[in-house]
Amino acid sequence: MPTIGVKRDLLFDALGKKYTDDEFQELCFAFGLELDEVTTEKQMLTKEQGDVAAAANASEEIIYRIDIPANRYDLLCLEGLVTGLQVFQGKVKPPKFEFVEPRERQVLKIQPSTAQIRPHAVAAVLRNVTFTPDSYNSFIDLQDKLHQNICRKRTLVAIGTHDLDTLQGPFSYEALAPEQIKFAPLNQTQELNGAQLMDFYATHAQLKQYLPIIRDSPVYPVIYDANRVVLSLPPIINGDHSKISLKTKNVFIECTATDLTKAKVVLDTIVCLFSEHCSQKFSVEPCNVVQPDGTTVSYPELAVREEQVSVKRANAYIGIDEPATKLADMLTRMYLEAKVDAKDDDKLIVKIPPTRHDVIHACDIYEDIAIAFGYNNIKKSLPAFMQIAKQFPLNKLTEQLREQVAQAGFTEALTFTLCSRDDIARKLNKDIEALPAVHIGNPKTLEFQVVRTTLLPGLLKTLVANRKMPLPLKLFEISDVVVVAENSEVGARNERRLCAVNCNKTAGFEVVHGLLDRVMQLLSVPWKTGNAEQGYYLEATEDPSYFPGRCANVMYNSAVIGRIGVLHPSVLQAFELTTPCSVVEFNIEPFV
Amino acid sequence: MHPDLTERILQQLEQVDKVDTLDLATQFNVDHQKVVGALKSIQAHGELVKAETATHKTLALTDEGQSVVQHGSHEAIVYASVPAEGIAQAALMAAGGANAKVGFSKAMSQGWLLLDKTVNPPLIRRKVDQIVDSVKEQLVLVASGKLQLPAKDVADYKKRKLLQETTTKSFVLTKGPEFATTLTKLETDLTMEMLSSGLWEQLKFKSYNFDALGATPTRGHLHPLLKVRTEFRQIFLEMGFSEMPTNNYVESSFWNFDALYQPQQHPARDAHDTFFINRPAQSFKFPQDYLQRVKSVHSTGGYGSLGYGYDWKLSEAQKNLLRTHTTAVSARMLFKLANQEGGFKPAKYFSIDKVFRNETLDATHLAEFHQVEGVIADVGLTLGDLIGTLYEFFRKLGITQLEFKPAYNPYTEPSMEIFCYHPGLAKWIEVGNSGVFRPEMLLPMGLPENVNVIAWGLSLERPTMIKYGINNIRDLVGPKVDLKMVEEGPICRLDHV
């Protein structure tokens, strides 16, 4: 969820009303936003960098930090937030965006070479913009927020904004070998080629994260004007030549992308939010984007879509009973202008503006009605049907056994499913490659390398952490391990195990053996003797985790379901235990 | 303690009915404290005797008083020291013994002596020829116990430090309800032998100290978080929800994300948030028709939706991961519900199981936690049904004040964050998420168009930490858990405030 910071006084000026923090929080809550923090630039600097010296000169103006839902790109800056809230409060009508045709449209031509790296581009122009320091900052911040969110850190879309008066169209979007591209990047005087640029920004705090998007590509995307001035090297950086300033009047906006839908959304969002600062408010100048196949597409789309919604269905979806006109009013407050169809009073005609690309289905419209109505005003009801509930049999057995094992004097542990390779292999004298373990591809630390194949390491770690407790310590856990299983749908399956450990001055094999006997008794499984077909028994085996001659397979109806034994001293040492331990661990799934 | 003494006391008491311990001490010729000690051990055996405290005041001679008895009073000694011809005062003081000065002034005030100033230097002479030393006589009588002095004289002698008064405490004994002349040994506990022999009726039992703690029971314990899990299971079962099989930690991206209409570029699908599996890295078995419908609803829409308009890739859907939510299982259940024999039937499901996030860890976040999830599918369910169900669910957790905040979630629309008022913290806290599953998720599964599915989820750890005031999640989950905490934890009663 993105968070934006806006100056409180600026926000209240724009809203035309002063709120207390609590009042504003309530307004946000009803609209689906959250006032996350009330702070100042000074506090933020002190908190983030602990740099009191740098913070000393920072502003103490109050800043509201507001959480914005991830799909509401139109609220990612002060301009959009104010419009959204004012429309929600019914104070203003949703703005209408208009195209203003220039004498001659700016043209951006996409060269076929871009298909190798970043195939899409869209563009638009905002004319006669007046920037103030605050609106200028807001414009930069909005691009940053869009880059971080819908643009997925510039992988899907990268935005470039330029002072059009420094440039000469038509523009050309190409892909060239890095060495062929040479320009002075933003705020630099020195000219660099594409390869040098990668080195230059390799340690840059913000930019270094974007370099891998194109670094290893044989060609880099680049936009030139008619005089071969570089506008930008997307998605890394703009050229210094066309940078916008407070004095900039006419802004050329280009978005290059790997996802065209998102590029259109981003372009619509920027022009909708910032056309407010044009001398002719909410006016946008379209551009022609010539596709590699020679066709021309006009951007931005600024499409207003019409959806038809059934009043009955909308009411039924939410569980309210409001007349059509009321629903239309509510939707209009949510920035979706709506009216009742003259011919059919069950039908609402809803206009989806270019600021609301999040509305893709009628259910999105229903939600806006529910928000406008107020979630907390909706009448409570309960689903009418009844159902005879059923427990998942494996979980039911688990619950019953947990209770019984605790009654047998063992204390329950709750340990981690993820662990290191060493935990399940080296420390237990096993070879990781021989284990049917599921391996995690992107662990941040050693603790998350594999999914456990045995419950034992978790219990041993719990013992170590509780060495101060009086002996004997008897622990158990009934939980899942995961093993590779080629025939299963995802190639791995869970297995529910019962593991118990007795830790005392003597190993006490008979203690865990006694627990096994007790559990089998509870499961009505007899001790197999002689030629009996059914039952459980122990069968001596050797396992490097266990003391030689003190280890057996737990057998159930002639199949191995687990292991019992006295732990090998080297295992105890690996887990930093100084007391002998005996262990039983077996699969309980055969008993469901 | 004093077996002989205790029995002698009891035997004496049997004869006389009432006796003072001081008298017993005299009679037995033992120290009074020993008699008192023996009495205490008699009392420890029950109500054999009644003992009432008595206070005795006795007068005794001081050392000075003793000297008076032997040698006469100071004034008598001074009188005797005066010869018939008289004596100079200084000479008298030297001759009249240690207490001459006191004796002289007393003799003067008694009128036994006079000071003759007609001669120079003046002389002390006898004024009377004979005296009676009544002080000595009285003290002799007091010492032998033959005289009760008037209070005034006692006060005077005490003032003169000739007499002293001592207070002695003793006990006056009478027979108690359990009077016997012998003591029986006290038993500490009732035994099998006592029962079988019937001996218990005659035996005396040591009185029990009810202020001491009992012996700790030897027992095993259930883990506190899993006790809460049991309570949540119970609540769902009471509400008629069936349990989903969630024993599959490894899931394909398809069921974890794509089936839920979570686009392939969604940040949750980033390696920063999700644990991807590199062994086994991919899944291959999918319901093919359904997979195609999911692909098209993502890329081009359908079912009344515009879709996300991107190039959906099978390879992304095939990536195996550790499930990030149990909603992946809900998706599988809903798919089954849509495609079961006999067609769709309404259903209520729940699950409580582990989910995994590759997140930054802190005091309240671990890479694995338990998700609690409830799902209801029926024709024509409303947002009001969800809100009503949530009120009933949270009421069972002891929470009655709820508020719902609009939120965004890729697979629910409408989406609501659930806030509850915590009286202890005196503030509103977020406790879970909820919503109505999107048609783009449900319709490709084959669920009828008029079926709505409402769902909610919360973590098991967070309400548990709030309930028990635990600040660090590692104190609740994992190997660092203090077993003492596990042992001492109460039973879980969430609705018991």
CATH number at residue B88: 1.10.10.2330
Give pTM, 2 decimals. 0.79
- State the pLDDT confidence band at B164, using cuts at 50, 70 and 90: confident
Residue-level pLDDT at B295: 97
* CATH code for the structural domain at A393-591: 3.30.930.10
Most confident of B66-80, B206-220, B356-370, B385-399: B385-399
Task: Give the contacts of B221 (CB within 8 A, at least 6 positions apart).
Answer: A406, A411, A412, B486, B487, B489
CATH number for the domain harbouring residue B304: 3.30.930.10
Domain residues for the domain of B90 are: 74-132
Answer whether residue B286 is part of any domain: yes
8 Å CB contact of A439 and B279: yes
Predicted confidence at residue A49, as pLDDT, reads 64
The pLDDT score that the predictor gives to residue A525 is: 94
Would you call B406 and A69 a contact, using CB atoms and an 8 Å cutoff? yes
pLDDT, averaged across chain A: 92
Give yes or no: residues B247 and B348 share one domain: yes
Closest CA to A579 of A488, A470, A419: A470
Confidence of residue B66 (pLDDT cuts 50, 70, 90): confident
Interface of B with A in 49-88 (CB under 8 A): none
Query: Are residues B279 and B412 located together in one domain of the fold?
Result: yes
Position B26 pLDDT exceeds 60: yes
Q: Are residues B1 and B120 in the same domain?
A: no
Question: How confident is the model over A421-445, as pLDDT tens digits?
Answer: 999 999 999 999 999 999 999 888 8
Residue A337: its pLDDT value, please?
92
**Angle between helix B224-238 and helix B383-396 axes, rounded to 10 deg:** 130
Q: Considering the domain boundaries, does residue B195 fall inside one?
A: no
In tens, the pLDDT along B232-263 reads: 999 999 999 999 999 999 999 999 999 999 99
Check pLDDT > 80 for residue B185.
Answer: no
Among B265, B277, B404, pick the best mutation site for testing chain A contact (most A Cβ within 10 A). B277
From chain B, pick out residues whose CB is under 8 angstroms from the CB of A362: 304, 439
CATH architecture for the domain at A305-370? 2-Layer Sandwich (3.30)
Q: How far is A149 from chain B (nearest CA, A)?
A: 8
Cα–Cα nearest to A576, from A463, A414, A415: A463
Do B155 and B86 sit in the same domain of this protein?
Answer: no
Contact in structure between A144 and A186 (CB atoms under 8 Å): no
Counting as low any pLDDT under 50, the low residues of chain A are: none
Residues B243 and B98 in one domain: no
Answer yes or no: CATH 3.30.56.10 is held by domain A3-88: yes
Same domain? For B172 and B271 the reply is no
Mind giving me the DSSP string for A163-202? Answer: EGGG--S-EEEEEE-GGG-EE-BTT--S-EEHHHHHHHTT
A367 with B415: Cβ contact below 8 A: yes
Same domain, yes or no: B232 and B296: yes
What is the C-alpha to C-alpha distance for residues B258 and B312, in angstroms, rounded to an integer? 9
As given in the structure block, the two tokens for residue B58 are 């006795």
With beta carbons less than 8 A apart as the criterion, state whether A64 and A10 touch: no
pLDDT of residue A53: 64
The torsion angles phi and psi of A500, rounded to 5 degrees, stand at -135, 145
User: Which among A364, A382, A389 is the nearest to B241, CB-wise?
Assistant: A389
Note whether A3-88 and A305-370 share their fold. Answer: yes
Domain shared by B363 and B376, yes or no = yes
Residues in chain A with CB shorter than 8 Å from the CB of B245 are 392, 394
| All structural domains of chain A with their residue ranges | 3-88, 98-299, 305-370, 393-591
Into how many domains does chain B fold? 3
Domain assignment of residue B207, yes or no:
no
Whether A333 and chain B come into contact, CB under 8 Å, resolves to no
Strand-strand pairing, A492-503 and A473-484? antiparallel
> pLDDT for B331-385, tens place per residue?
999 999 999 999 999 999 999 999 999 987 888 889 999 999 999 999 999 999 9
DSSP A451-495: E-S-SHHHHHHHHHHTTTSPSPEEEEEEEEEEEE-TTSSSSEEEE
Q: Do B235 and B379 sit in the same domain of this protein?
A: yes
Q: Around B332, how many Cα atoms within 13 Å sit in the side-chain half-sphere?
A: 21
Shared-domain flag, residues B48 and B157: yes
Cβ within 8 Å of A, B 364-383:
366-368, 376, 378, 380-383
pLDDT at B3 over 60: no
Q: Is residue B44 part of a domain?
A: yes
Does residue B163 belong to any structural domain of this protein?
yes
Q: Considering Cα of A491, then A494, then A495, then A499, what sign does the dihedral take?
A: positive
User: Is the domain of B327 the same as that of B426?
Assistant: yes
CATH of A98-299, one of 3.90.1150.10, 3.90.1300.10, 3.50.40.10, 3.30.460.10: 3.50.40.10
As given in the structure block, the two tokens for residue B57 are 């005041």
* CB-defined contacts A:B, below 8 A: 285
Please report residues of A whose CB lies closer than 8 A to that of B356.
417-418
Task: Verify that B96 and B239 share a domain, yes or no.
Answer: no
Q: Is residue B69 part of a domain?
A: yes
H or E element: which one contains A83? helix A78-88
